[in-house]
Amino acid sequence: MNVSGWFEAVASCSSATTNSRSQALSLHPAASHRENLTSSSFKPPTPRPGHLPNMVVYAVLILNKAGGLIYQRDFNPGLQKLSSNDYLILAGTFHGVHAITSQISPTNETSSSGLEVLESENFVMRCFQTLTGTKFLIFAEPRQQNLDVVVRRVYELYADYVMKNPFYQIEMPIRSEGFDRHLNSYIKPHQ
């Protein structure tokens, strides 16, 4: 086989990739100027606390530390409707996957956080695990960058309207009208 021939093939396919991704990654000095421009124009405005960044949130799920689903709510159409049993299975599966993802760390850090962001063609999911092991999953439209703000606010609402409610039993499904109401007015402020 002609060695120079395949090498050309490899070179051509690789140059195609670098071109398509030059904006984001290129270390070339000529491209760095453009990169700065794009990154600054993409920087989201720092939102005020209690104010939702302009985005569509599909759903919010909360898992307790044992992997049980304690809260599930759809806000905007975008995800398929599942039966409550399917949601429970999904939560359990995700709990396991989250634990495994912290095991497969290729770097040398001893402790690794589990899955934080999951991207697919149609949505992006942010998972936030509190120090106590509760997990918050936020599903939103794809290519959203500042889901951290949302997750933080949801955590805050949880701490306020779930944990401070004397009628809530810890680790059990959340049925709190105040939490529902505040979450709704935060995620869908115009309706």
Partner 1 sequence: MVVYSFFIFDRHCECIYIRQWLNTASSAAQPLSRPVTASSAATVATSVVEKPTAGSRLSMAEQAKLVFGVIFSLRNMVKKLCGPEDSFLCYRTGHYKLHYYETLSSLRFVMLTDIRTESLKSSLHQIYVNLYVEYVVKNPLSPVEHAGGEGVNNELFELGIDSFVRTID
Partner 2 sequence: MNRDPSPFRTASTASTATSPTPKYANLTASTNLRYSLTRKSIYDRHLNRTKTSELSKSAFAFLFGEMVQYAQKKVYGVQDLEKKLNLHGYAVGQRFLELLLWRDGRTAKRETRILGILQFISHQLYRAIFQKQADTLEKVRENEDEYMISDNDPVVNTYISVPKEMSQLNCGAFIAGIIEAVLDGHCFPAKVTAHTAPNELWPGRTVFLIKFEPEVLEREALRVGS
Q: Which structure tokens are listed for 15?
A: 């140059």
Pick the piece of the chain touching partner 1 (CB under 8 A) from 1-9, 62-70, 169-177, 179-187: 1-9
End-to-end CA distance of the chain: 66
| Residue with smaller CB distance to partner 2, 72 or 176 | 176
> How many whole angstroms separate alpha carbon 36 and alpha carbon 136?
33
d(CA 168, CA 165): 6
107 binds, among partner 2, partner 1, none (CB under 5 to 8 A by kind): partner 1
Place of tokens 């421009």: 37
Q: Which stretch binds partner 1 (CB under 8 A): 19-27, 31-39, 42-50, 152-160?
A: 19-27
79 binds partner 1 (CB under 8 A): yes
- Rounded to an integer, what distance in angstroms lies between the CA atom of residue 4 and that of residue 79? 49
C-alpha 38/C-alpha 46 separation (Å) is 17
Stretch that binds partner 1, among 30-38, 116-124, 144-152, 153-161 (CB under 8 A): 116-124
Based on the shown chain and the rule CB under 8 A, indicate whether residue 167 belongs to the binding site for partner 2: yes
Pick from 29, 77, 106, 166 the residue near partner 2 by CB under 8 A: 166
Interface with partner 2 includes 155 (CB under 8 A)?
yes
Q: Does 152 bind partner 1 (CB under 8 A)?
A: no
Nearest CA to 138 among 65, 70, 69, 62? Answer: 62
Tokens 């709190």: give the residue: 176
Residue 136 near which of partner 1, partner 2, none (CB within 5-8 Å, type-dependent): none
Binding residues for partner 2 (CB under 8 A): 49, 152, 155-156, 159-161, 164-168, 175-179, 181
